[in-house]
């Protein structure tokens, strides 16, 4: 049971570099989300998608881009890495909007450090 798979698990970037965080789910979920979690803080929504071809900004989208060309994949791109983007990034998915009995399933997270 793969669920939500994120790669890589860890990464160190230099300021100004770019990279793509990969997220794929095998549950045929329509809804996918990217969050970041800074130490001692809650999760903040970066971007989300309610289906292939549709993406929307969350609370903290600046410095990130996403695409949703397939139901399974929802990559998150950092174009010009900055130290403020050092965080743990979680991808999540759900079949329907997050209402009762429709929990979000999370990946293991990607720990990203920008130096």
Chain positions contacting another protein, by CB under 8 A: 31, 33, 35, 40-45, 48, 50, 56, 58, 88, 90, 97-101, 103-104, 106-109
Distance (Å, rounded) from C-alpha 63 to C-alpha 80?
7
Dihedral sign for Cα atoms in the order 2, 74, 16, 57:
negative
Residue 80 CA to residue 27 CA, distance in Å, equals 32
Q: 41 or 115, CB closer to another protein?
A: 41
Smallest distance from another protein to CB 72, Å = 18
Which helix (H) or strand (E) segment holds residue 27: the answer is: none
Q: How far is the CB of 77 from another protein (least distance, A)?
A: 21
Q: Kindly tell me which of 35 and 81 has the beta carbon lying closer to another protein.
A: 35
Q: How far apart are CA 25 and CA 17, in angstroms?
A: 27
Taking the least distance from each CB to another protein, the nearer of 14 and 100 is 100
In angstroms, what is the minimal distance from the CB of 81 to another protein?
A: 22
59 contacts 33 by C-beta, under 8 angstroms: no
Least distance in angstroms from the C-beta of 53 to another protein: 15
């Amino acid at each position: 049971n793969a669920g939500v798979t994120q790669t890589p698990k860890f990464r160190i970037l230099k300021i100004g570099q770019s990279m793509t965080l990969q997220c794929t789910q095998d549950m045929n979920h329509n809804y996918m989300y990217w969050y970041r979690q800074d130490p001692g803080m809650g999760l903040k929504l970066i971007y989300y998608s309610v289906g292939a071809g549709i993406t929307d900004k969350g609370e903290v989208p600046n410095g990130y881009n996403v695409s949703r060309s397939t139901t399974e994949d929802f990559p998150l791109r950092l174009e010009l890495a900055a130290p403020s983007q050092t965080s743990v990034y979680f991808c999540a998915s759900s079949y329907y909007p997050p209402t009762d009995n429709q929990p979000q399933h999370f990946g293991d997270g990607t720990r990203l450090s920008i130096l």
